């Protein structure tokens, strides 16, 4: 039955549109749209991105890979035809998801890719369409799309079609404001089910934490939980954190006014907001110094110490570390009072100063 369904041309596209419509209806019925603060630019960027991805970027990459394949490796065309459907599907999905895990993680850890992925994290409300919110070059460079084209060339069209449907169901479901996993955490009886499920696939709780504004909130981990369909890669590579509640704030610490055109067409179009990383000539400066900073801290309150040395609010993190491998350090103190915090970023007992800066001055 499934195999027969998969012979229908563009069946994956119909299903993906169906999934989007399904989540959009649920979000509308739940009243999220009415209480939304989304701007016109948010909708333009996400709809444009979805349309261009499906109608230009993907067909272009598939055409390009097929042309290269036919030219240089014609004997491999449709070579997978005789292999088991389940085997191809599993192989396709696992490689696809591993590629996307590393691409997504690299986008958080390198400056140029971060600027292409940044619009995705600018969204201050989650929603079914947020998953399509990236600059167009981000999609052009996305290894998964090239992988899809390769598997199609090798003859895995049906596996790709079903794989894409399953993947989009998980991805759109984990971006949506419909928190389908919430009851599983609320009812003790259901909890074991979600504990197993969240160790396999990406749930809304797991992915919403990645979109949380700051690690200061226990349910947020903007520098972790990079997975797309399976959470196994985050667990394997040490970036998984599991939560049972949702962040209260989403988006970036640094708010900027970027037009939808700058967000989508960067670096061809730059932001007019001079405070934005997407503006022309924007540079992140080193703001650390060889002087410790003494600051008043309150006991048991949580703070984020800047580890990257680029924050404009030293010694605390202001989100400037995005696009680098640095992550802020969360800490608290046992006594209220003035505390000397490290600002040379070289202390052996960070976030506290151990006078390493004095040695560095010599």
Q: What whole-number distance in Å separates Cα of residue 134 and Cα of residue 141?
A: 12
Percentage helix, strand, coil, to 5, in the chain? 50, 5, 45
Check if the beta carbon of residue 264 is closer than 8 Å to that of residue 329: no
User: Which residues, in sequence order, are bridge partners of residue 303?
Assistant: 331
The residue (of 6 and 295) whose beta carbon lies closer to ligand FES is 295
The residue (of 209 and 288) whose beta carbon lies closer to ligand FES is 288
Q: What whole-number distance in Å separates Cα of residue 113 and Cα of residue 107?
A: 5
Candidate segments 55-63, 122-130, 238-246, 311-319, binder of ligand FES by CB under 6 A: 311-319
Binder of ligand FES out of 178, 194, 292, 306 (CB under 6 A): 306
Q: What whole-number distance in Å separates Cα of residue 129 and Cα of residue 43?
A: 8
Q: Is 324 helix (H, G, I), strand (E, B) or coil?
A: coil
The residue (of 211 and 321) whose beta carbon lies closer to ligand FES is 321
Candidate segments 24-32, 204-212, 307-315, 347-355, binder of ligand FES by CB under 6 A: 307-315
Query: With contacts defined by CB under 6 A, how many residues of the chain interact with ligand FES?
Result: 12
Q: Is the peptide bond before 351 cis (omega within 30 degrees of 0)?
A: yes
Task: Tell the residue number behind the tokens 């969360």, with chain if given.
Answer: 330
- Which of 22, 152, 159 shows the shortest CA–CA distance to 90? 159
The residue (of 310 and 353) whose beta carbon lies closer to ligand FES is 310
Q: What is the DSSP string of 191-212?
A: HHHHHHHTTTB--HHHHHHHHB
Candidate segments 95-103, 109-117, 147-155, 310-318, binder of ligand FES by CB under 6 A: 310-318
The residue (of 243 and 321) whose beta carbon lies closer to ligand FES is 321
Binder of ligand FES out of 202, 310, 339, 341 (CB under 6 A): 310
The residue (of 65 and 306) whose beta carbon lies closer to ligand FES is 306
CB 253 to ligand FES: min, Å: 8
Interface of this chain with ligand FES, residues 162 to 221, rule: CB under 6 A: none
Interface of this chain with ligand FES, residues 313 to 332, rule: CB under 6 A: 317-321, 326, 328
Q: Name the token pair of 44.
A: 């333009």
Q: Does 344 bind ligand FES (CB under 6 A)?
A: no
Residues near ligand FES, by CB under 6 A: 306-308, 310-311, 317-321, 326, 328
């Amino acid at each position: 039955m499934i195999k027969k369904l998969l012979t229908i041309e563009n069946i994956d596209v119909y299903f993906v549109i169906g999934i989007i419509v399904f989540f959009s209806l649920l979000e509308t019925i739940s009243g999220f749209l009415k209480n939304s603060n989304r701007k016109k630019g948010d909708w333009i960027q996400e709809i444009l991105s979805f349309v261009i991805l499906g109608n230009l970027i993907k067909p272009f990459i598939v055409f390009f890979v097929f042309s290269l394949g036919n030219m240089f490796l014609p004997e491999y065309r449709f070579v997978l035809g005789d292999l088991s459907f389940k085997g191809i599907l599993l192989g396709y999905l696992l490689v696809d998801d591993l590629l996307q895990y590393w691409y997504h993680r690299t986008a958080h850890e390198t400056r140029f890719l971060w600027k292409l992925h940044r619009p995705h994290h600018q969204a201050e409300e989650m929603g079914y369409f947020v998953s399509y919110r990236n600059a167009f070059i981000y999609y052009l460079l996305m290894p998964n799309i090239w992988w899809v084209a390769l598997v199609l060339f090798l003859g895995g069209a049906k596996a790709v079609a079903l794989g894409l449907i399953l993947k989009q169901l998980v991805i759109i479901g984990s971006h949506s404001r419909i928190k389908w996993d919430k009851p599983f955490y609320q009812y003790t009886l259901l909890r074991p089910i979600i504990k197993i499920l969240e160790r396999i696939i990406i749930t809304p709780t797991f992915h919403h934490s990645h979109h949380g504004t700051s690690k200061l909130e226990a349910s947020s981990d903007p520098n972790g939980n990079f997975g797309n369909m399976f959470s196994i890669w985050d667990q394997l590579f040490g970036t998984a954190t599991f939560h049972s509640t949702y962040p209260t704030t989403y988006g970036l610490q640094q708010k900027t006014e970027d037009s939808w055109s700058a967000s989508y067409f960067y670096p061809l179009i730059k932001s007019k907001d001079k405070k934005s990383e997407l503006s022309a000539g924007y540079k992140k400066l080193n703001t650390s110094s060889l002087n410790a900073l003494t600051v008043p801290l309150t006991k048991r309150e949580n703070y984020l110490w800047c580890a990257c040395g680029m924050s404009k609010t030293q010694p605390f993190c202001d989100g400037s570390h995005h696009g680098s491998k640095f992550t802020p350090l969360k800490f608290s103190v046992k006594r209220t009072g003035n505390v000397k915090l490290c600002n040379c970023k070289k202390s052996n007992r960070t976030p506290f100063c151990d006078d390493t800066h004095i040695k560095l001055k010599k």
